[in-house]
Amino acid sequence: MSSFVVEERTALAKSVELTDETLSVGLADGRTIAVPLDWFPRLAQASIVERNTWRLIAGGRGIHWPQIDEDISTANLLAGQRSAESQTSFKKWLSARTKPNRRRK
């Protein structure tokens, strides 16, 4: 009797590219995963400068956008999971961004 074994590997991000509609992440194993930018409301609301200011964290297990305080795990992208931020939290964040006197790049 043969058995089927799935080898579990950790997917690691290597590169990030954003358009007005898509977040694409290049993985170390050669794959690319693309998801709608609307899955991550903070990224969708971010300026181009904010979107393009990211860094890999935990050796590529995640991506961090410091200017908008957004973290996305590579595993969650592969699992098809959208942002888990509550509407209350997002609205509070958005409100803080749109207050008068706040300068944006």
- Altogether, the residues listed in the chain come to a count of 105
Token digits of residue 6? 């799935």
DSSP string, 27-47: ETTS-EEEEEGGGSHHHHHS-
Token digits of residue 97? 């961004």
- The pTM (predicted TM-score) of the whole model is 0.83
Least confident of 34-38, 48-52, 100-104: 100-104
Q: Which residues, listed in sequence order, are joined to residue 100 by a DSSP beta bridge?
A: none
Check whether 1 has a pLDDT greater than 80. Answer: no
Check whether 96 has a pLDDT greater than 60. Answer: yes
- Calpha distance 7→48 (Å, rounded): 38
The backbone torsions φ and ψ at residue 43, rounded to the nearest 5 degrees and listed phi first, read -65, -40
- Chain-wide mean pLDDT for the chain? 90
Whether CATH 3.30.2020.40 fits 13-98: yes
Check whether 104 has a pLDDT greater than 60. Answer: no
Return the percentage of the chain with pLDDT > 70, whole number. Answer: 86
Residue 67: which of 85, 48, 91, 82 has the closest Cα?
Answer: 48
Q: What is the pLDDT of residues 39-73, one digit of tens each?
A: 999 999 999 999 999 999 999 999 999 999 999 99
- Calpha distance 73→92 (Å, rounded): 23
- Burial (CB count <10 Å: 0-12, 13-18, 19+), residue 5: exposed
Place of tokens 């961004």: 97
Domain parsing of the chain, residue ranges: 13-98
